[in-house]
Structure 1
Amino acid sequence: MTTTDWQPTACILCECNCGIVVQLEDRKLARIRGDKAHPASRGYTCNKALRLDHYQNNRARLTSPMRRRPDGTYEEIDWDTAIVEIAEGFKHIRDTYGGDKIFYYGGGGQGNHLGGAYSSAFLKALGSRYRSNALAQEKTGEAWIDAQLYGGHTRGEFEHAEVSVFIGKNPWMSQSFPRARVVLNEIAKDPARSMIVIDPVITDTAKMADFHLRVRPGTDAWCLASLAGVLVQENLCDEAFLAEHVRGADIVQDALRELPIAEYADRCGVDEELVRAAARRIGAASSVAVFEDLGIQQGPNSTLCSYLNKLLWILTGNFAKKGSQHLHSSFAPLFSTVSGRSPVTGAPIIAGLIPANAVPEEILTDHPDRFRAMIVESGNPAHSLADSTACREAFEALELMVVVDVAMTETARLAHYVLPAASQFEKPEATFFNFEFPHNGFQLRRPLLEPFPGTLPEPEIWARLVRALGVVDDADLRPLREAAQRGLQEYTEAFLGAVASNPTMSKLLPYVLYETLGPTLPHGLAGAAAVWGLAQKTAMAYPEAVRRAGYADGNALFDAILNSPSGVTFTIHNYEDDFALISHADHKIALEIPEMLIELRTLTTAPPRLTTSELPIVLSVGERRAFTANDILRDPSWRKRDVDGALRVSVEDAQALGLIDGCRASITTAAGSAEATVEVTETMLAGHAALPNGFGLDYVDDDGRTLVPGVAPNSLTSTGWRDSYAGTPWHKHVPARIEPARAEAR
């Protein structure tokens, strides 16, 4: 298939999912550019989107279900055999040990959330309860804080903010909000606006900043506490806002009033006057927006840091006004409200997710409640979770493991069955990273290509597995199929009646929608049936905002989504709506979190360093660079620079350790060791080194050789190195020893 038409879709390499348009040559994404019709990105894209054909046509694509033989090799089997054997295997686990011993990991990457929506029907039919995914490596500490404060997720309106604060975040490289580089340039060029960056590295964003608070690695909590302390001690808080819209502000202010600013500034390595100047700029601004990211979310005191950074904009009243911080609508929730403790280790379940660092411990035990089986969908935890060795050992101990993916990943090679999914450009897809305010958007991406021979879209995979369980009578589905043929209005009435009267169908909603509404949708869009249900929920949750966007009800919104391949604006909020989106009964921010105030007090006695004489350097793994992306880009030929994923070290450390640019260095941590090529750079502080994300993945080159470029970051990380509240890993703070590789030393 070759066409000169530009077809709309989206980039799938970061959470922005910028709209792109593509020209095809046969099955190749031949030309790619930004989609000007996309409601959020408006034609913007970074360099990484232009490399997406390396995902679509990589040599590791799976084309048949695979079953592991007793000797560990794999054989191709047909789909019918795979579905029957997998369904029977999970039924055996359920009937022998209980469905709660079946663990689910994944549900989508940066752009493929829609397929994961259908897995819930199969999991519920089996009685599976526990799950995790990549968000449990990053966002659960912040999610726990958000739930206490106001019950939802906030996003800064950086496009209009007078002061933008980035904490452990380099948006020039990692993007994460629409048109990031355009917005950053606008801020940098406007003398009336300011940018504050808190980061030990001189990042691309830090170079643009008016205030770069270059903290020592792992000391962000002292820096953030100092900023909040200055706001209170210098009377820079918005007392009128606090009195009207916040509970517990006086208790928090009392805790900050006696905070030793000079001592904490010294602890974090930032000049006290710079801390005070940055805090005064925040306190004087008409609007402030704040973004925290992995730099603090995967380091010491991460949950406390999430709390302290939110104090900066709450204490100064930067909420519910243009250019500030906002709650927002959601087309589908990324987090659930499920909480509790994991069955074996008692790890906290936050937002429905078991901490990723606890996963091996939940398997490698004799505990009767240990996980016996696992489903991995569009994820690669054997590579992406801390301590890859422990993960591999755990996954090999499972009685049944099934992986659904487009490639034979590191995790897939440990599975009993691997099911080949259609790529993200061969099926309807969507992302649920819908975070913007006041206008929020959603894009249903149409398939550019038919599924590659031998592969199936995830909705069809899950539907076949549910059918194999035999939990739904086809006679129960027939009335809904007939109603769907008569139009959405009749289908809506029939659907509501059916799920209200049939508990089994109400438990398996995505499957029911796929089987009944799906066949009536345009060719190739059956997998979009679940979007109809999400459109109904969205219209009920935000009726006025949906009507402002131009849709009378959920059916009208669904029709618009189907007919707008570049995406739609699904809600338009007024700024005062922010207060209504606070979930507390009084619609006030509950600022006092007792656990965090205890943690704040302990900062005065906390140890200044977590490194040792044996492991004296803080290694940060997973740094995002111009030519790194998520793990779906396995073939390194897309990279134009940094092809080996260099270890970045400071000038001072290079001199002390006898390293030069381009030499090889040995890296040793408590978990393992590796070798990397060295890049000596002034961007790193002494005692701080960094390895990039996206490396350590094997691929087959043109000569048929299997190669593994760069270092797999989690060969060096430890599962025990985690936040005490959320269990998030300290990937950005790994004590390490770096020395010349033996060959270099000789």
Structure 2
Amino acid sequence: MPRTALRICPLCEATCGLTLTLDDGRVTGARGDRDDVFSKGFICPKGASFPALDADPDRLRTPLVRVDGELREATWEEAFDAVAAGVRPVVERYGPHSVGVVLGNPNVHTVAGALYPPVLIAGLGTRSLFTASTLDQMPKHVSSGLLFGDADAIPVPDLDRTDHLLLIGANPLESNGSLCTAPDFPGRLRALRARGGTLTVIDPRRTRTARLADRHIAIRPGTDALLLAAMTHVLLTEDLVDLGESAPHVRGVDELAEAVEEFTPEAVAPGCDVDADTIRTLARELSAAPTAAVYGRIGSCTVPHGTLASWLVDVLNTLTGNLDRPGGVLFPLAATARAPRPAGPGRDFALGRWHSRVSRHPEAKGELPLSALAEEIDTATDEGEPVRALIAVAANPVLSAPDGDRLDKALGSLDFMVSVDPYLNETSRHAHVVLPPPPPAQSPHHDFAFNTLAVRNQVRYTRPALPLEPGRMAETEILARLVLAVTDWGLPCSWGSPRSSGAESGGGAESLGKHGTEPAAVDRLVVDQTLGKAVNDPHSPVHGRDPEELAKLLTGDDGPERRLDMMLRLGPYGDGFGAEPDGLTLDKLLAHPHGIDLGPLRPRLPQPLRTRSGRVELLPEPIAADLPRLRAALDERPAGFVLVGRRHLRSNNSWMHNVPVLTGGSNRCTLQIHPDDAELLGVRDGRPVRVKGAGGEVTAPAEVTDGMRRGVVSLPHGWGHDRPGTRLRHATTDPGVNVNQLLDGSLLDPLSGNAVLNGVPVEIAPGSNP
């Protein structure tokens, strides 16, 4: 008999609630959960495709182990034995940094991906960590770290109460939002317009979001920081600064005024191709609005001055009094976050604590640039051993990182590679062991990361809609066993929670035991260490209590649920293990299957600040040191075409191109080009066009559209499914081209190490039919 089950959608950052229809052990339908406290029934095409994605026949069902050069099906025991035999000798011979860890963005969409990679990284003791963050969002983490002292303290726009929203480099009608978790982002923008608010979009393309706006400004790609600096200049020179309630918590206004003195609207206008009067109008309207929020995303991050642009977004929010203000931008407070500590000076945020071996890129937030992974594998230096073994979890950097051809070859040269992935894709095909997690319907879901970015405080948890199929292993167990397989010498436990702001953290050192230890040992270790630290913290609700007694109070069917229960109890809304009887616990959350609403975002300053001064640092030293590079950009003009990426509503990077219902239509790999440019070059709609960059050349069908600004072309991200040895039958029928192959990996934002993916110069010419 058909039945229904609730599931939070794991396919983008909107985290919508779904009602799944189940029949005969499979998902047969998906619709929006009208009773979900956050999404209230909203669903996008990705969520509606949940049954097809869950049942994709190309998903791996058993582990694969490379034998005599070929990947063959193996038992789980054989697979983990092979992992231990492959990784440990590399560490023993060459040291822990010779093992690289690559984390793709699907990790933040799963319980397992949130809970276990921090333990894995700490257990290995490696500094060779590479994640998708340096392909999209690291500039925002760095700017937040420098401004607020915490790289994860990212204020989000209060979409439901703002009067004026300025979007720069963001297209939420296609992306559903990024670093701003908001189900039905399109509906929230329409509601803003309906209540008389103003929407301004700054983007070189007339996107779906731009078409909804009151004003669309087609800026020259890569010049976002120039425009924002000029707006800052206007506020400061026209006496439009009003810090509002945040004034006691802000320092550096006078120094900031001196730092942006040269960025007048007249000086900036030729570089960003926005006239000076328009720049002044943008700043004045922002200042005059009753409430306002500036929100910048991928387009403003993946450019040469991404950290400066991200910094200036929050400088504008601060100078207009909209930081930490209802209707402005506010700091969310997730249920699993660390309970708020008393305000006061913190340890501050540090950059460049170590560097990559080859190009000496500084670490940011403990990570090295993913663009540098190939050279860290294939280049020998006197600065230590190359990366000789790699653990990739839900990552496909051959498509997602610059210069995939070089990385493709580098991966083939590794001594050993293990990939945790449901598919044999362009990256996992190089692995010596592939560990496939089960389909999402067979996994639990809680949004550890995205609730720290949500536009409303709430908490939801869904258990697996379907039991594990025979022969499958839960993703949480896969990653726990992976920790045990590669770290049997013990764990130096300085790791944090799924996000460093979380309630769960480690401390001390304790061995996990030998390979083959029950995977629950990983969870017990984390629980013991977290509770041990909590009882010694005078600000904790369990200060002075017995950690063993607290551990006995935890509920849940398994280790991951016990850890979630612990984090909820220790969190800002938790019961404190009985100290607050009405507070959150896992049992209480399970009794509310559609979630628990925790209310609108509220002002929190100065509590989130972790700078040494205990205040918002408007002009941090690393930012000031990078401003001369921005001044030099005042005189830069692209000589030819520049390239930008784009998002599709039915796609999320390279994840979903093997699902037929999500490809075709608008979700196609085409080169968008303005009609005037097409006519000048002799390019015809639908005909091949060649694109050449510093890293290589690709040929894609032309899509002639007046939605592009002249001199700019656009290719989507995540395509190029034409490499041999994959098992992606549908994706290979229309593979598209890999836009990142146009990049050689040398262009990075120096402060964050983020890849420059937008505003890069390319050559365009008509192609020939294959």
TM-score (norm 1): 0.86
**Deviates further, 197-206 or 578-587:** 578-587
Supply the distance in 2 between the matched residues of 1:497 and 1:263 (Cα, whole angstroms): 57
Identify which of 377, 381, 384 aligns with 2:400. 384
Written as runs of structure 1 = structure 2, the 5 A alignment for 1:244-393 is: 244-257=248-261, 259-330=263-334, 340-345=353-358, 346-367=360-381, 368-393=384-409
Aligned counterpart in structure 2 of residue 76 of structure 1, from 73, 76, 87: 73
- Is the CA contact 1:519–1:526 (under 8 Å) kept in the aligned structure 2? no
2:206 maps to 1:182 = no
Equivalent-residue separation in structure 2 for 1:606 and 1:275 (angstroms): 17
2:737 — aligned with what? 711
- The equivalent of 2:692 in structure 1 is 668
Cα deviation digits, residues 122-154 of structure 1 (max 9, x gap): 443443343221112122222111111113211
Alignment of 1:562-711 (within 5 A): 562-569=590-597, 575-584=602-611, 587-606=614-633, 608-609=635-636, 611-612=638-639, 616-621=640-645, 623-638=646-661, 639-642=663-666, 644-697=668-721, 706-711=732-737
Q: Distance in 2 between matches of 1:88 and 1:553?
A: 49
CA–CA separation in structure 2 for the residues paired with 1:284 and 1:500: 49
Q: 1:508 is matched with which residue? A: none
Point out the more displaced range, 666-675 or 453-462. 453-462
Of 424, 430, 445, the residue aligned with 2:440 is 424
Q: Distance in 1 between matches of 2:569 and 2:104?
A: 22
Determine the C-alpha separation between the residues in 2 that align with 1:438 and 1:215.
28
- Is there any run of 5+ residues in structure 2 with no aligned partner, and where? 339-347, 489-510, 537-546
* Aligned mates of 1:437, 1:20 — CA distance in 2: 18
- Whole-angstrom CA distance in 2 between matches of 1:124 and 1:554: 35
The match for 1:507 is none
**Greater CA drift, 271-280 or 580-589:** 580-589
Task: Specify the alignment match of 2:228 in structure 1.
Answer: 224
Distance in 1 separating the partners of 2:50 and 2:165: 31
CA RMSD of aligned residues (A): 3.4
In structure 1, runs of 5+ residues without a counterpart are: 485-490, 502-511
Is structure 2 residue 39 aligned with structure 1 residue 4? no
Task: Output aligned runs, 1:169-248, within 5 Å.
Answer: 169-176=170-177, 177-191=182-196, 193-238=197-242, 243-248=247-252
CA gap of 1:79–1:651, structure 2 versus 1, over 3 A, is same
- Displacement of 1:731: 1.2
Alpha-carbon distance in structure 1 between the residues aligned to 2:728 and 2:391: 30
Alignment CA distance shift 1:317-1:466 (3 Å): closer
Query: Does structure 1 residue 408 correspond to structure 2 residue 424?
Result: yes
- The alpha-carbon deviation at position 627 of structure 1 amounts to 3.2
The alpha-carbon distance between structure 1 residues 239 and 671, as it changes in their structure 2 partners (threshold 3 A), is closer
Distance across 1 between alignment mates of 2:371 and 2:236 = 37
Return the match for 1:472 from 512, 519, 529.
512
CA distance in 2, matches of 1:248, 1:600: 15
Q: Which amino acid in 1 is paired with 2:589?
A: I
Does the Cα contact within 8 Å between 2:446 and 2:461 map onto a contact in 1? yes
Aligned residue type for 2:749: D
Percent identity for Structure 1 against Structure 2: 27
Q: How many residues align?
A: 704
- Distance change >3 Å, CA 232–CA 465, structure 1 → 2: closer
TM-superposed deviation, 1:601: 4.6
Matches of 2:367 and 2:740, distance apart in 1: 20
Residues 199, 215 of structure 1: 8 Å contact kept: yes
Deviation at residue 573 of structure 1 after TM alignment: 7.3
* Residue 504 (structure 1) aligns with: none
Give the residue type in structure 1 aligned to 2:255: I
Cα deviation for residue 332 of structure 1 reads 5.8
SS at match of 2:232: helix
Q: Larger deviation: 553-562 or 131-140?
A: 553-562
- Once residues 389 and 554 of structure 1 are traced to their aligned partners in structure 2, the CA distance between those partners, rounded to angstroms, is 56
Task: Tell whether the 8 Å contact from 1:108 to 1:115 is kept in structure 2 after alignment.
Answer: no
Match of 1:104 in 2: 101
Residues 148-179 of structure 1, C-alpha deviations (whole Å, 9 max, x = no match): 11132111101111111111001111122232
The answer to whether the 8 Å contact 1:520/1:526 transfers is: no
Cα 1:123–1:668 change in 2 (3 A) is same
**Alpha-carbon spacing, 1:492–1:172, altered in 2? closer, same or farther (3 Å):** closer
SS of residue in 2 equivalent to 1:619: strand
For 1:92, the equivalent position in structure 2 comes to 89
C-alpha displacement of 1:252: 0.5
- Do the aligned residues in 2 keep the contact of 1:628 with 1:692 (CA within 8 Å)? no
- The question of whether the paired residues in 2 share the 8 Å contact of 1:101 and 1:370 is answered with yes
Moved more, 30-39 or 274-283: 30-39
What is residue 159 of structure 1 aligned with on the other side?
160
- C-alpha distance in structure 1 between counterparts of 2:157 and 2:357, whole Å: 38
Secondary structure in structure 2 of the residue aligned to 1:440: strand
User: Separation in 2 of the partners of 1:396 and 1:384?
Assistant: 17
* TM-superposed deviation, 1:656: 0.7
- Shift in alpha-carbon separation, 1:492–1:112, aligned structure 2, 3 A: closer
Compared CA separation, residues 332 and 70, structure 1 to 2 (3 A): farther
- How far is 1:460 from its partner? 1.2
Is 1:743 matched with 2:769? yes
Query: Which one-letter code corresponds to 1:651 in the other structure?
Result: P
User: 1:548-578 CA distances to partner (integer Å, 9 max, x unpaired)?
Assistant: 9x99379842322344333334x55773423
Is the Cα contact below 8 Å between 2:241 and 2:287 reproduced in 1?
A: yes
CA contact (8 A) 2:574 2:583 kept: no
Q: Is the 8 A contact 1:363 1:371 kept in 2?
A: yes
Separation in structure 2 between the aligned mates of residue 518 and residue 647 of structure 1, nearest angstrom: 58
Pair 326,84 (structure 1): closer, same or farther in 2 beyond 3 Å: same
What CA distance in whole angstroms lies between the structure 2 residues aligned with 1:173 and 1:67?
A: 38
Helix, strand or coil at the partner of 1:579: coil
Counterpart of 2:493?
none
Q: Cα deviation per residue 1:713-737 (whole Å; 9 max; x = unaligned)?
A: 2222221021122111111123212
- Distance in 1 (CA, whole Å) between partners of 2:552 and 2:104 is 22
Aligned mates of 1:347, 1:125 — CA distance in 2: 24
1:559 correspondence with 2:587: yes
Q: What is residue 529 of structure 1 aligned with on the other side?
A: 562
CA contact (8 A) 2:569 2:584 kept: no
Question: How many Å separate the matches in 2 of 1:463 and 1:338?
Answer: 30
Q: 1:46 to 1:499 in 2, by over 3 A?
A: closer
Alignment of 1:42-57 (within 5 A): 42-57=40-55
Query: Displacement, 1:667?
Result: 1.6
Change (3 A) 1:107 1:562: farther
C-alpha deviations, 1:662-685, integer Å up to 9, x for none?
Answer: 212122212122221111111101
